[in-house]
Structures are given as C-alpha cells and as structure tokens.
Structure 1
Amino acid sequence: MTRLVVVGNGMAGARLVSEVRARDRHVKVTVFGAETWQPYNRVLLSNVVAGTMTPEQVRLLDPAWYADHSVTALPGVEVVAVDRETQAVITAGGRREPYDVLVLATGSRAVVPPVPGAARAVTFRTLDDCRTTLEAAATARRAVVVGGGLLGVEAARGLAGRGLPVTLLHLAGHLMDRQLDAEAGLVLGETLAGLGVEIRTGVVVEEILDEGVRLEGDETVEADLVVLACGVRPVTGLAGDAGLDVARGVVVDDEMRTDDPSIFAIGECAEHRGTVYGLVAPAWEQAAVVADIVTGTDKTSRYRGSRLVTRLKARSVELAAMGETHLTEDDAEVVRFSHRAAGTYRKLVIRDDRLVGAILLGATDAVGNLTQLFDRGGPLPGDRAGLLFPGVSGGAVAESPVRMPDAAKVCQCNNVTKGQIRACWESGARDVDAVAAATRATTGCGGCRDAVEGIVGWLCEQEGVSA
C-alpha cells in the first residue's frame, strides 16, 4: 500500500487529498496542516471580514469527510523537517511519519515590509488574521490597508462593508498595477471610493504608529487598525533545508515532481517552468496531475502551465483580468470602452487575431465568452464591439445558454464545462447548490455563480420545471 504524506492542508493540499480519494481508496493518506483550522477557501476571506460569510461557510472539508474517506488529518501539527534518506517527515513534536510519496503544499506567507512598527499591524492571509482583524474592527474608528493589489482591495472592501472608514495606501501609481492598466486602476479606485474607501496611490509608508501610519514627508494617516496586504512569498524553507532545488519556489517538472523523484510540490510553493502561480485554479490543476500519477490512474498526466484569469468579486465590485493587459496600440490591436461615471471599463488586447489579454470592470456579462476565447487561443470574430457587448451588436453571445457550446468552460477554477452542468442537471441536480456539490463549480473564486445559475435556470425553463 502506497503511503502518501501531504504537508499543507490549505486549498492545494486539501484538493490533492480529495482528488486522490476520488481515484483510489487504498492509498494510505496522512495530511499535516500548520493551521488549526480545517481547510478553507482563502479566496473568500474578504467575505468573512465583510460579515457576509462565516468561517464555517468557507470551509472546504470537514472532519467527518476525513473519517468517511479513511484519511488521517492532523491540523495544527507543523512539519519541521524532511528526512529524505529514511523517507520520513518530522513534526515539531518529534513525530516521524514515513512516506513513499511526499507532496509539499506549504503555500505562501504574507510579506511584512521592513518598516518600523510593522508588528503593530495585522496581515491579511489566514482565518486567524480575519479573526484578529474583526476583533480590532469592532472597536476601531478608522482603518488603513497598506497595499493596493488584489488582497488589499479585498481587505479594504471587506472592512468598508462593515461601515468602517478605510484608507487604502498603495506604492504604485494605480491599484492592482500588476493586472490592470492605469485607466482601469483609476476606475476601480473611483468605484471603491463610492463604497467608502479613500484611495491614496504613489505613497511610501515610513512607519506604523499606534495612532496610524506615517508616510514619507511626515504626513500621518490616522487609524486604530492597520492591515498589511503587501503580497505573499512561497514557503520553501522545508524544501530548502531538505536539499531540494529551490528558486523563488520549489522547482518542479511537468509531473510536479521535484529533483527527488519521491517528492512533489503543488500550489503557491511550487515553481513550474519559472513561474509561481498565486491563484487557485492552477493549484487545483496541479493537484489533479499529481493525483493521476500517484494513484496510477493516468501515468501520462502532465501540467503544462495555466493561462491566468484574475477575478475580484467583492460585494459591489466585479473585475476580471487576463493575459497581457498592459499592451498598448503600439504593440497590439486594442479595443476599449470606458464609462467612469458608471464604474465600467472594458479592454481587449488582440495580437494575430487572437485574444492575448482583457480587462472587464463593472458589469462583466462578457467574461465567460472572453475567457473561453483567451483559453483556447482561437481566431476572433470580426465584430470586436460584439465581444465587449455580447448580444448588442450581433457579436458573440456565448454567455447566453442557448448559444453557449457544451465544451465552453463555465467554472475556470474547477474546469467545469456547460456540458458537465447539463449532464449534472439531467441526473437530477435542479439548483446551483446541487450542481456545486456534484461538479465543484462555484466553489473556487465564486465568480461563475451567476453563469451557473443562468444555465440551470435556462435548463429548467426548457423542461418546464422549477429551479
């Protein structure tokens, strides 16, 4: 019997365990998690901060699942060393757990900037961070979030959703500068401002004080609560100490295997072909590949990399960005529409008649169709406006269930197609929750929920049944 040990019980590790059990009930599985929580969906933490979801609602697996599937889960037990010679992991308490196959899914940790007073702030990365933030927010009069990337925007929106005045500080000239161009960042900032978040870009934090944040130039931004959302860094110490090849992340090949053939790495700690992916969909794709190989279900399974789609779906803020969003008319064909008063910005980046990038902010009815075109890399229809406004000018309307092919991918995080949703519906799943339970659609970033609801509603309407 193969002994599989998984170090890390977050989104990648938990997914691997469930993928392995879906393929083989006989592999002996032990999973260690440094956090005491059962595995949870980190993507939805801003909803916990905002109070629209509870910690229980973002949980991925519960203790009963582990018992029912004969998996030994050890939350709150940290692995501190890997003995490659004897093939065993060693915990902080001295326990030795032997393995035939070891998978590192250690994830990332929050970056804490080297500024005086940083210990006074809280990070935004874990459920424990959320608990600390909520305790502080209960008595705070003002909050500051440092970092205007995806995590910072989510944290600021979550706190503002609780009625707390929030100032969002960002070093770059516009928000989410890695994913968005300057105009999209401006529109996003104006949208957040309308929701109670004051935006300050191009500022340098010099010190975190008891009474707020001191900026370069000696200006102080007052706050009782300071949240750091300054990015994440792969957790690679365990792999490095074990002598594995580590660059920015743990270096793996197309099998997600390290330079030790008995050790794999997946998720945010893994570096594949020079890239460390910080989103959930690649981690879950990697987990499926390793599960195929470890169980022998498909020894030819390989991970070839992911085409990234960043989704932000905080309350009242909808955003999708994919590919090469920063290219201009000098480098590619660019089609854009901006309506700042409505908080809407849409941009297509096209090269050689292929969609290589897109930004959709505000109403995102075109996301499904554009994501499919971006994923497949196929030729585009001549009517570019129809891509930005499906159904308005006779262009592509793949978001309409009638026109959407069964092969169209609806849930990017879990690779669920319209055809799979249809098959699930025909098997008796008559609402979104039932479809989610069967296919996992909507359980990643949650951005596809409206599309799944539309498909289920359309199917019910066709057959004259109640959704």
Structure 2
Amino acid sequence: MNGIVIIGAGESGTRAAFALRESGFTGSVTLTGTEPHLPYERPPLSKPLNGAVQMKPICGAEALQAAGIDYLQGVSALSLDPDTRSVAFSDGRTLTYDKLLLATGARPRRLTCPGAERALDFRTYADAATIFSSADPGKSIAIIGGGLIGMELAAVLRGKGITVSVIEMAAKPLGRAVPPRFAAKLHARHQDEGVAFHLGQGIAAITDDAVLLADGSAVPADIVVAAIGVLPDVALAEAADLATGNGVLTDSFLRTSDPNIFAAGDCAAVAQPGGGYIRFESWRNARSQAETAARNMVGGKEAFGAIPWFWTDQYDLGLQVAGLPQPEHQSVIRQLDGGELEFYLDDGRLLAAAGLGSCNSVARDIKLAEMLIAAGINPDPAALADPGVNLKALLKSSRAA
C-alpha cells in the first residue's frame, strides 16, 4: 500500500494530515510543502508583534512525528501522473500514492504595468518579513488593491505611523467580499486614521519613488505592495489533465475528475447543489474542507456543506460574515452596543449575516446567526431587528419547531 500524499503544507494540507490519523487511518501519510518552514498560519502575518512578523506554527515537529506524518519541507511537486499514481518532486524523489490531496492554495495575482517587479507581494512569511522590516516610521507605502488584505495591511501600517496610500481600480474599496454597509464604515474609519485613497484608478507604471496613475498623477511611495487578489494554484492539476476552472474542480465530496485525487482549500472549486462551482478563501474553510476530504479519502461519503465564513480585524474593529450575502437579499439591521448586525433573507429564509463592532463584540451573535442559517429557518424580520429578542432563544424555538 502506497498510502496518502498531500501536496501543500498550509492550513488545509496540514489539517488534512492530522485528520487522517484522527479518522483511524494507519497507512503512510506524506505531507509536502514548498516553504522552508514548519507549517504556519497566514492570518497572523498581517499582525506583527512588537514590530516583528509572527510565525504561528500550525503544529510542531514533535506533533508531526507523534502522528506518524512524514513532512517534506522545501520541496515542490514538479509533475503529477494520475495513471501511475505518482508525483515527481524537485529534490529528485518520486512518490506513489493510493490517494492524493491537492492543497496547493493560491498565488498572488501579478501586476502587468511597467515597473511591476518593484511591487512586493504579501502572501508568505518571507513576504511579510520583507515588508515590515522595511516599513519604518517616516516612510510612505502605496498599497495597490483595496480588498481585505490591502486594507488590513493599511490599518497595521498606519498604527506604526507610516504614511499609507491605497490605490484601487474600483470606485469603492472592499467591494467584492464585504457587504456595502460595512465596507463604507471601514472605508470611513481608514480615512479618519489618515489613509489616502485613490479610487477608480488604473496603474500606468511603478518607479523607484512613486506609483504613476492612469490619469497622469503620481502617488509618492518608498515601498509599493501589490494586494490585488490571488489566483488558485492549478498548474499541477492542469498539467495532469484534471478538470479546472476557477480552481481545481471537485464534486461535493471534494473528489476531482480523478477519483483517487481530492482537492481542498484555496485551490478547490466545489460543485454547488444549484449548479456551478464556488471557491472559498478563508482559514476556517480551508480547515473544514481538509477534514471532509480526509474522511472521504479513507472511505467516507460526506458532502462538504459548511457555511462560508470569514473575518477581518482593522484597527479596533472586527468584521465577521457568515453565508453569502447578495444584493437582492432582504436586509434587516440590528443595533448592538458597540456594533451592529445585518441579516440577509431570501423569500423569508435566513441565508447570511454580517456584523461589525469593536473588538469581538459581534462574534457571539454571528456564531448564533450561523447556527440559525444552518437550521434553515424563516425568522420574523421584526424579531431579527429587535436587540431585545435573544438570538439564542430564536434558535431554541426553531429547533423545537
């Protein structure tokens, strides 16, 4: 028996390796990663401690050894042959497998303007260390991209007293993932903190000391960071003739077009009950998919159905979103001490919820809202809007019904 090989040692790949053992699998498990580190969490990279980038390990070497997981670090998978069930690696070795998990994650989207090579990425520990080691007070930084990563980085840098400009092609920042109500509030907070925004602007070029915009203006910058999103890393899958689209296409059990190969995390685009495929980018999704894939690789038949969820911390504000809010949804607002919630209903059914507040003031309510979504209830909008109506009580009544 050749065992299971996992390509990618991020949150998804590492969690899957341990989940295999927790599921009772006793065969060989090999975890491979391209970075020269033990597996680590990415969210803390944008939250330096005392000016130093945090590397928060997902697990230690001792835990890997105790679980009987062979960890090959600093090696890249060069080719995958589904016919022979084998993978060739950059260190010259070839591994065979019974089942394989692709947890290759995503890679930064690249700028194409003149001088693009001057822009720094913000994805790995090495990227973060480069940025924060250079980000001294008195310097100016231009962040190209006003999405979640760019805005989180802007908040941290402003806290260090650094001049920050955010350049975004869209008319508003945070337009793709964050509900408009909360995107506007976060935008306003950044402006209050002194972040300069250049919206609706394309990039003409990047020079040694500025970003030149399409309208002919220049944004002074000692450092430029590209945060224009990520692309699923599907090169290995494509070369092996697996089905791909906006990610490695899987069925609801996270199986790819080859029944012996599964995919999970940022690289996986999962089939949806109503048709189409969705790729979810979040820490919790990576972990949930990993656990589902691991159980299915050893004989389970568990459809992945976790509710999408993400969070972001900017200054002292915390945003959490559960489900997939859509513009056509009915919106219901609930005011809280220190924050507010927004619920999203479709034909009366609760499908999503979001909350923004100081620190973790909305965390408990979003967790309860997530449980209400999972229960598939049609709540009274007036009850959702009334802060005097306990969400836990709504959940209990829905379960009783």
User: Taking structure 2 as the reference length, what is the TM-score of the superposition?
Assistant: 0.88
The 8 Å contact of residues 33 and 78 in structure 1, kept in 2 or not, is answered as yes
Query: Which one scores higher on RCO, CA 8 angstroms, separation ≥ 6?
Result: 2
- Residue type of the partner of 2:224? V
> What does 1:249-260 correspond to in 2, within 5 Å?
249-260=247-258
Shift of residue 127, structure 1, vs aligned partner = 0.8
Question: CA, structure 1 residues 135+87, in 2 after alignment: closer, same or farther (shift >3 Å)?
Answer: same
Q: Report 1:118-129 matches (<5 A).
A: 118-129=116-127
Q: 1:202 aligns with which of 200, 203, 228?
A: 200
Deviation at 1:332, TM superposition (A): 4.6
Match of 2:344 among 322, 341, 349: 349
Aligned residues: 389
Tell me the alpha carbon deviations over residues 279-310 of structure 1, each in whole angstroms, 9 at most, x when there is no partner. Answer: 222222221222212334xx222224x43223
The reply to whether residue 375 of structure 1 matches residue 374 of structure 2 is yes
- CA, structure 1 residues 121+63, in 2 after alignment: closer, same or farther (shift >3 Å)? same
CA distance in 2, matches of 1:157, 1:146: 14
Residue in 1 aligned with 2:301? 300
Superposed CA offset, 1:191-238 (max 9, x none): 122334223322222211110211111111111111111000000111
Change over 3 Å in CA distance of 1:181–1:404 after alignment to 2: closer
Conservation of the 8 A alpha-carbon contact between 2:40 and 2:57: yes
Cα distance change on mapping 1:140 and 1:80 into 2, 3 Å: farther
Q: What corresponds to 1:283 in structure 2? A: 286
**CA–CA distance in structure 2, aligned partners of residues 268 and 190 of structure 1:** 30
CA distances 1:30-64 after superposition (whole Å, capped 9, x unpaired):
1110111211111222113x6477534x2111211
Q: CA deviation at 1:404?
A: 7.8
Q: 1:382 to 1:136 in 2, by over 3 A?
A: closer
- The 3 A distance-change label for structure 1 pair 52 and 133 is closer
- Do the aligned partners of residues 275 and 51 (structure 1) sit closer, same or farther apart at CA in structure 2, a change above 3 Å counting? farther
Secondary structure, in 3 states, of the residue corresponding to 1:123?
Answer: coil
SS in 1 for 2:311: strand
* Structure 1 position 256, deviation (Å): 1.2
Distance 1:147 1:351, change over 3 A: same
Contact 1:51 1:162 in 2 (8 A): no
Distance 1:51-1:216 versus aligned 2 partners, 3 A rule: farther
**Could you list the runs of 5+ residues in structure 1 that have no partner in the other structure?**
409-467
Higher strand share: 2
Q: What does residue 331 of structure 2 align with? A: 334
1:80 and 1:383 mapped to 2: Cα distance? 57
Give the alignment of 1:28-427 within 5 angstroms: 28-48=28-48, 51=50, 54-56=53-55, 58-138=56-136, 141-273=139-271, 274-296=277-299, 299-304=300-305, 306-327=306-327, 331-336=328-333, 346-363=341-358, 364-365=361-362, 366-384=365-383, 387-388=384-385, 390=387, 394-398=388-392
In 2, Cα distance between the equivalents of 1:5 and 1:227?
35
SS in 1 for 2:293: helix
Structure 1 residue 338, shift from structure 2 partner: 8.7
The equivalent of 1:10 in structure 2 is 10
Report the more deviating stretch, 210-219 or 180-189: 180-189
Q: Look up the match of 2:274.
A: none
Change (3 A) 1:15 1:389: farther
| Greater displacement, 145-154 / 274-283 | 274-283
Q: CA deviation at 1:106?
A: 0.4
8 Å contact from structure 1 (residues 190, 343) kept in 2: no
Amino acid at match of 1:347: E
* 1:18-33 matched pairs, under 5 angstroms: 18-24=18-24, 26-33=26-33
Instruction: Look up the equivalent residue of 2:330 and give its one-letter code.
Output: E
- Residue pair 2:87, 2:96 contacting (<8 A) in 1 also: yes
Q: Deviations over 1:418-450 (max 9, x none)?
A: xxxxxxxxxxxxxxxxxxxxxxxxxxxxxxxxx
Distance in 2 of aligned mates of 1:53 and 1:346: 34
User: 2:10, 2:318 → 1: CA distance?
Assistant: 25
Q: Partner letter of residue 83 of structure 1?
A: D
SS of aligned partner of 2:245: coil
Distance in 1, matches of 2:166 and 2:333, equals 27
CA contact (8 A) 1:188 1:343 kept: no
Unaligned runs of 5+ in 2: 272-276
Counterpart CA distance in 1 for 2:53 and 2:206 is 30
Aligned mates of 1:135, 1:243 — CA distance in 2: 41
- Offset, 1:128: 1.0
> Structure 2 counterpart of 1:300, which letter?
K
Contact 1:346–1:358 (CA under 8 A) maintained in structure 2: yes
Report SS of the residue matched to 1:362.
strand
Report the Cα distance in structure 2 between the residues aligned to 1:325 and 1:45, rounded to whole angstroms.
27
CA distance in 2, matches of 1:234, 1:209: 29
SS of corresponding position for 1:254: coil
- Cα–Cα, structure 1 residues 113 and 226, in superposed 2: closer, same or farther, change >3 Å? same
Kindly tell me: are residues 115 and 125 of structure 1, through their superposed partners in 2, closer, same or farther at Cα, counting changes over 3 Å?
Answer: same
Q: Percent identity?
A: 28
Q: Is the 8 A contact 2:52 2:132 kept in 1?
A: no
Q: Which residue of 2 aligns with 1:415?
A: none
**For residues 152-183 of structure 1, what are the alpha-carbon distances to aligned partners after superposition, in whole Å with 9 as ceiling and x for unaligned?**
11111122222212111211122211133444
Q: AA paired with 2:347?
A: D
State the distance in 2 between where 1:382 and 1:254 align.
32
